[in-house]
């Protein structure tokens, strides 16, 4: 009998061991059934996949999916269902002596234990329905503490104590909008009635359709406890963010959950203008810099995913300016932006989640502002999902920027008038392009170009003479321009008038126009091309088809095409007192530019038709002249020319040779016998090219010819 009992005991023990082993080994297969039974009737569901074999300290899993629903309430009109997924993680647990006071009805602290459950996962995602956002986080650790109190035997009372979750680098996506680098410490406890205490919420960046926006580093104090008088309001305190490196802040943002709206004012702190990223150098010399400080404010209204900006403004303190430099880093001009009229009445409507899937995550419309006393507006922003390009057109109306322009370096003068026009912009991958933009102004101004100083003579120093300065007065400029995303630009320009004046004389150009092309040649980006240039001058025109000028080598070649230039205008320009002429000239003048010097290579000019030349002399001059000179005077008193030919050459040092061949008759001289006159004028054309002062040289040449005949 004893043997039977012993065998039975051994068999029972082995059965229990085998049953326990089988239960442990088959746990992954029946764990889901246990969960379903335990959660029956509960408002959430848990589904597991890839459970590992349990150990005394924990268990691993491939995925855990949790679905739960928050019911509608006074602040939310509809219930929301959340789908939570944990991937590639583990659940571990440990028991420890309860650190707090035991339950009042307990007699011994040993009856109370803390069960600490730590859940880790490679990834966590939360998706609500309706789908307002997607939440994602990596390397997640959630720690839940529960209090276990023994009732009787093996029965325990389970009471949740706390739950913590440190968010680091999480992401929230809403359609094409994306918040990255989210950090926040979730710390819930029964002692605080499961209300989240105030903690710092930080969002590193905001992007739209994969492209970064100017908004980054948003921080605010946030907790879940609400004001009883405003039960549907979430409050953010001590809010700040960076807006294009510009610190903006507001003390309080109150968001109404039920109405889905808020309004507040972002205050833009004083900031040095050069701290904004548009002035940062990107390899090589920067052509822009800024001085002074600016500040401002942006009133914002938010309603159901739409941001409305109303009457924002940016003010600039005294001395604030933007300076433009040339490639040698010498200042060319500056724009004074100081004052209360820098940027005012800025209004815009920004839609964060448009139902139109062709738009980007941020859709902008109704943009308008007052800039330098003028108006700037924009067409609605459109987006091409195929090329990922954004399109809009800026419209300018009487922007008074010319009045604020200060010329620097070798330039001085004053400009005036407002600028109007349109600028169609395309932005792709942070590069911009302009297609058929236009700007025009009813104003104008004067610009004086002062070349580098040269040693002066004693007389020039004593009398304060300025040699070489040239002043240009222009009116009603017009520009049409295009720019590709790789920097190639074409500018069509036109002026109503352009007048040049220096110490030797002045010249007026009417309706000058042409095309300037820059950065067209990748192999030689320093080439600037002037093409299709023409201008009215002296009742005629001067034109050139193309000039390729190398800004580094300072050289280029072209041919000036001269047509219908009134000869008398040339003479009047220089105040000639003796020569009067009718008719027009035309021709081609090849010009070579090198190191700011000009060369003329065998230029040819000819008369367009017959004309008349009168060389006026007084009776006293004729009486005093020798016989040969008197004959020349008489032949030119009424010269009806049939041919006028001229050739011009000039070297880089200014030495020139001009020949003039004149054929015709004088009906009042020797019964109209044919007259042929050949003149040569040699001089330095350095000043002649600026003043066209050739009349006195021609007069001297006529006298020289007469003296030669006498000899």
- What is residue 707's predicted lDDT score, i.e. its pLDDT? 45
Residues 407-428 as b/e (b if ≥16 CB within 10 A, e otherwise) read: beeeeebebebbbbbebbbbbe
Q: Which helix (H) or strand (E) holds 569?
A: helix 567-573
Vertex 257 angle, CA 254 and 262, to 5°: 35
Using the 3D structure, point to which of 118, 150, 174 is the last residue of a domain.
Answer: 174
- What is residue 704's predicted lDDT score, i.e. its pLDDT? 52
* pLDDT-wise least confident of 126-135, 205-214, 478-487: 205-214
State yes or no: pLDDT of 5 exceeds 70: no
Mean pLDDT of 115-123: 91
State yes or no: pLDDT of 487 exceeds 90: no
pLDDT greater at residue 467 or residue 326: 326
* pLDDT-wise least confident of 17-21, 65-69, 97-101, 329-333: 17-21
3-state secondary structure of 696: helix
Parent domain of 577: 554-711
- What is residue 283's predicted lDDT score, i.e. its pLDDT? 41
* For the chain, percent of residues with pLDDT exceeding 70: 81
**HSE-CB of 300 using CA atoms within 13 angstroms:** 22
- What is residue 379's predicted lDDT score, i.e. its pLDDT? 92
Nearest to 600 by CA among 660, 655, 650, 546: 650
- What is residue 154's predicted lDDT score, i.e. its pLDDT? 57
State yes or no: pLDDT of 239 exceeds 90: yes
On whether the CB atoms of residues 535 and 512 are closer than 8 A, the answer is: yes
The answer to whether position 167 is within a domain reads yes
pLDDT greater at residue 620 or residue 520: 520
Residue 318 C-alpha from the chain's centroid: 25
- What is residue 166's predicted lDDT score, i.e. its pLDDT? 95
- What is residue 368's predicted lDDT score, i.e. its pLDDT? 94
- What is residue 281's predicted lDDT score, i.e. its pLDDT? 47
3-state secondary structure of 246: strand
State yes or no: pLDDT of 6 exceeds 60: no
User: In which band, very low, low, confident or very high, does the pLDDT at 634 lie, cut at 50, 70 and 90?
Assistant: confident
Q: Which helix (H) or strand (E) holds 689?
A: helix 685-691
User: In which band, very low, low, confident or very high, does the pLDDT at 160 lie, cut at 50, 70 and 90?
Assistant: confident
State yes or no: pLDDT of 107 exceeds 60: no
User: In which band, very low, low, confident or very high, does the pLDDT at 30 lie, cut at 50, 70 and 90?
Assistant: low
The answer to whether position 306 is within a domain reads no
The answer to whether position 328 is within a domain reads no
Mean pLDDT of 216-225: 93
Mean pLDDT of 89-110: 66
3-state secondary structure of 175: coil
Number of domains in the chain: 2
Using the 3D structure, point to which of 127, 148, 174 is the last residue of a domain.
Answer: 174
Mean pLDDT of 513-542: 87
User: In which band, very low, low, confident or very high, does the pLDDT at 629 lie, cut at 50, 70 and 90?
Assistant: confident
Average pLDDT, the chain: 80
- What is residue 26's predicted lDDT score, i.e. its pLDDT? 59
The answer to whether position 170 is within a domain reads yes
On whether the CB atoms of residues 62 and 87 are closer than 8 A, the answer is: yes
Using the 3D structure, point to which of 149, 174, 199 is the last residue of a domain.
Answer: 174
State yes or no: pLDDT of 683 exceeds 90: no
User: In which band, very low, low, confident or very high, does the pLDDT at 369 lie, cut at 50, 70 and 90?
Assistant: very high
User: In which band, very low, low, confident or very high, does the pLDDT at 550 lie, cut at 50, 70 and 90?
Assistant: confident
The answer to whether position 229 is within a domain reads no
- What is residue 297's predicted lDDT score, i.e. its pLDDT? 93
pLDDT greater at residue 15 or residue 383: 383
State yes or no: pLDDT of 500 exceeds 50: yes
On whether the CB atoms of residues 45 and 66 are closer than 8 A, the answer is: yes
Mean pLDDT of 681-685: 62
pTM of the model: 0.71
The answer to whether position 169 is within a domain reads yes
User: In which band, very low, low, confident or very high, does the pLDDT at 361 lie, cut at 50, 70 and 90?
Assistant: low
The answer to whether position 639 is within a domain reads yes
The answer to whether position 213 is within a domain reads no
Mean pLDDT of 545-555: 86
User: In which band, very low, low, confident or very high, does the pLDDT at 447 lie, cut at 50, 70 and 90?
Assistant: confident
Q: Is it true that the peptide bond before 541 is cis, omega within 30 degrees of 0?
A: no
Question: What is the pairing mode between strands 419-428 and 389-399?
Answer: antiparallel
State yes or no: pLDDT of 265 exceeds 90: yes
pLDDT in tens, 637-657: 888 888 888 888 888 777 778
């Amino acid at each position: 009998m004893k043997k039977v009992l012993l065998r039975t005991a051994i068999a029972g023990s082995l059965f229990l061991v085998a049953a326990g082993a089988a239960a442990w080994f088959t746990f992954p297969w029946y764990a889901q059934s246990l969960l379903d039974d335990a959660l029956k009737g509960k408002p959430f569901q848990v589904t597991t996949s890839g459970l590992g074999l349990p150990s005394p300290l924990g268990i691993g899993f491939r995925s855990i999916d949790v679905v739960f629903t928050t019911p509608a309430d006074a602040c939310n009109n509809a219930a929301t269902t959340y789908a939570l997924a944990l991937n590639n993680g583990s659940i571990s647990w440990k028991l420890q002596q309860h650190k707090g006071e035991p339950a009042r009805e307990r007699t011994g602290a040993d009856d109370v234990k803390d069960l600490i459950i730590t859940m880790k996962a490679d990834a966590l995602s939360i998706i609500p329905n309706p789908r307002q956002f997607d939440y994602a986080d990596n390397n997640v650790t959630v720690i839940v503490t529960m209090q276990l109190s023994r009732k009787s035997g093996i029965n325990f009372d389970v009471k949740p104590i706390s739950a913590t979750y440190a968010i680091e680098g999480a992401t929230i996506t809403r359609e094409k909008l994306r918040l990255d680098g989210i950090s926040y410490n979730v710390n819930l406890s029964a002692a605080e009635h499961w209300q989240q205490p105030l903690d710092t919420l930080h969002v590193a960046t905001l992007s739209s359709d994969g492209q970064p926006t100017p908004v980054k580093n948003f921080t605010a104090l946030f907790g879940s406890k609400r004001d009883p008088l405003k039960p549907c309001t979430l409050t953010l305190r001590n809010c700040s963010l960076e807006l294009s490196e510009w610190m903006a802040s507001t003390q309080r943002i109150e968001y109404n959950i039920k109405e889905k709206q808020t309004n507040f004012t972002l205050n833009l702190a004083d900031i040095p203008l050069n701290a904004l990223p548009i002035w940062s150098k990107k390899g090589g010399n920067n052509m822009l810099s800024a001085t002074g400080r600016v500040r401002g404010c942006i009133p914002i209204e938010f309603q159901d995913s739409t941001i409305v900006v109303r009457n924002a403004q940016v003010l600039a303190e005294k001395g604030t300016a933007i300076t433009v430099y040339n490639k040698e880093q010498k200042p060319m001009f500056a724009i004074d932006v100081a004052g209360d009229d820098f940027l005012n009445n800025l209004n815009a409507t920004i839609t964060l989640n448009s139902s139109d899937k062709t738009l980007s995550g941020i859709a902008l419309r109704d943009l308008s502002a007052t800039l330098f006393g003028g108006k700037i507006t924009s067409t609605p922003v459109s987006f091409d999902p195929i090329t990922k390009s954004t399109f809009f057109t800026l419209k300018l109306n009487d922007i008074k920027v010319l009045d604020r322009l200060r010329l620097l370096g070798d330039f001085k003068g004053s400009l005036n008038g407002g600028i109007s026009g349109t600028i169609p912009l395309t932005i792709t991958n942070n590069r911009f392009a302009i297609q058929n933009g236009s700007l025009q102004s009813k104003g104008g101004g004067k610009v004086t170009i002062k070349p580098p100083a040269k040693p002066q003579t004693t007389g020039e120093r004593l009398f304060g003479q300025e040699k070489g300065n040239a002043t240009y007065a222009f009116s009603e400029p017009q520009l049409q321009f295009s720019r590709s995303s790789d920097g190639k630009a074409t500018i069509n320009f036109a002026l109503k008038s352009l007048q040049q004046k220096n110490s030797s004389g002045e010249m007026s150009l009417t309706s000058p126009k042409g095309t300037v092309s820059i950065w067209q040649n990748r192999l030689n980006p320093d080439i600037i091309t002037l093409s299709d240039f023409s201008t009215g001058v002296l009742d005629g025109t001067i034109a050139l088809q193309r000039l390729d000028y190398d800004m580094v080598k300072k050289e280029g070649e072209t041919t000036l095409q001269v047509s219908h230039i009134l000869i008398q205008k040339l003479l009047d320009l220089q105040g000639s007192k003796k020569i009067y002429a009718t008719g027009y000239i035309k021709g081609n003048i090849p010009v070579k530019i090198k190191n700011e010097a000009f060369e003329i290579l065998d230029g040819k000019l000819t008369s367009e038709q017959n004309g008349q030349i009168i060389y006026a002399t007084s009776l006293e001059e004729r009486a005093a002249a020798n016989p040969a000179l008197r004959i020349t005077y008489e032949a030119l008193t009424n010269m009806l020319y049939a041919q006028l030919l001229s050739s011009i050459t000039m070297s880089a040092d200014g030495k020139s040779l001009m020949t003039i061949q004149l054929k015709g008759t004088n009906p009042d001289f020797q019964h109209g016998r044919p007259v042929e006159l050949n003149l040569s004028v040699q001089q330095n054309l350095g000043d002649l090219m600026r003043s066209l002062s050739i009349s006195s040289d021609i007069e001297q040449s006529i006298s020289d010819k007469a003296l030669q005949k006498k000899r």
